[in-house]
Amino acid sequence: MRRTGGTGATIPPRATATRERPILDFLKPRYIPMNRRRRIYEGKAKVLYEGPEPGTLIQHFKDDATAFNAKKHEVIDGKGVLNNRISEHIFSNLNDIGVPTHFIRRLNMREQLIREVEIIPLEVVVRNVAAGSLSTKLGLEEGTQLPRSIIEFYYKNDALNDPMVSEEHITAFGWATPQEIDDIMALAIRVNDFLSGLFLGAGIRLVDFKMECGRLWEGEMMRIVVADEISPDSCRLWDIKSKDKMDKDRFRRDMGGLIEAYTEVARRLGIMGENEKAGPAAGPRLVQ
């Protein structure tokens, strides 16, 4: 497997002779080097590793960008780091306003600790403005404001190219129950309202986004939570004034400038450290 650039987890030096460890040493928490961790799942842009405690996983953001069901693939240095930070910001805000998510905390530049959930095999897309596949399908000009927000479901299946499905398909094939669909739609609306406001405050229009949900088991109880990631890879974000694209369409449509756009999203959300706001015009800085 390709190793990502130098920004991955740093591996602290390990005790050399295992046999010399004092008894009970195993009780101490310790880092598990990346290559020793059990890999649970590898997707196109992320890897999931076994977490430090039962019921947790580590979500690792790669630099890989794919489009059109991985027919187009490129490694874009730094994308994983930006998506990790942006997704952390969004998920921790969602947790704070009482929208349940799988997110626990960010661990390092590329990784976050998450709760293990049973992923529901649906991509839930919420649209506010016509763009992408909706524009193509219905012949709507990109940028047309929709009469109301529209929720769509796609069946997560690469071999089938993630086909759009209806609630009828979802319940008939047992991917989710009618009650779960209600919960997913209620979550999708709350996430859309929150994200629209968050981005509006940063001078960005939330055109549409994709989210995934999972079942979180707590003893006998189960609830639906927001899972996966929410980042410029999974949203369409347009600058309000210039209408510039600040999302993965820059890659899909060969426009270039993806890292610059994602960095600008992070900067406007106020999540880049003071030192990362490069340039002499950045104003006074905090002395650290």
Question: Least distance in Å: CB of 173 to ligand ASP?
Answer: 22
Question: Which amino acid, 107?
Answer: L
Nearer to ligand AIR, 3 or 71 (CB): 71
Question: Least distance in Å: CB of 165 to ligand AIR?
Answer: 13
3-state DSSP: the chain helix, strand, coil percent, rounded to 5? 30, 30, 40
Nearer to ligand ASP, 26 or 68 (CB): 68
Burial of 227 (0-12, 13-18, 19+ CB in 10 A): buried
Binder of ligand AIR out of 132, 156, 196, 268 (CB under 6 A): 132
Q: How far is 29 from 113, CA to CA, in rounded Å?
A: 15
Q: How far is 236 from 252, CA to CA, in rounded Å?
A: 12
Binder of ligand ASP out of 67, 99, 146, 185 (CB under 6 A): 67
Q: Sort residue 43 into left (φ over 0), alpha (ψ -120 to 50) or beta.
A: beta
Q: Does 156 bind ligand ASP (CB under 6 A)?
A: no
- Enumerate the β-bridge partners of residue 125: 152, 210
Q: Are 63 and 83 in contact (CB under 8 A)?
A: no
Among ligand AIR, ligand ASP, none, the one that 236 touches (CB under a kind-dependent 5 to 8 A) is: ligand AIR
Q: Does 66 bind ligand ASP (CB under 6 A)?
A: yes
Stretch that binds ligand ASP, among 64-72, 90-98, 135-143, 237-245 (CB under 6 A): 64-72
Question: Which amino acid, 231?
Answer: S
Q: Does 121 bind ligand AIR (CB under 6 A)?
A: no
Q: Does 164 bind ligand ASP (CB under 6 A)?
A: no
Question: Least distance in Å: CB of 175 to ligand ASP?
Answer: 19
What token pair was written down for 147? Answer: 């009469």
Place of tokens 């899972």: 227
Q: How far is 35 from 6, CA to CA, in rounded Å?
A: 15
Q: Does 235 bind ligand AIR (CB under 6 A)?
A: yes
Binder of ligand AIR out of 90, 125, 130, 165 (CB under 6 A): 125
Residues in the site for ligand AIR, rule: CB under 6 A? Answer: 123, 125, 132-134, 208-210, 233-236, 248
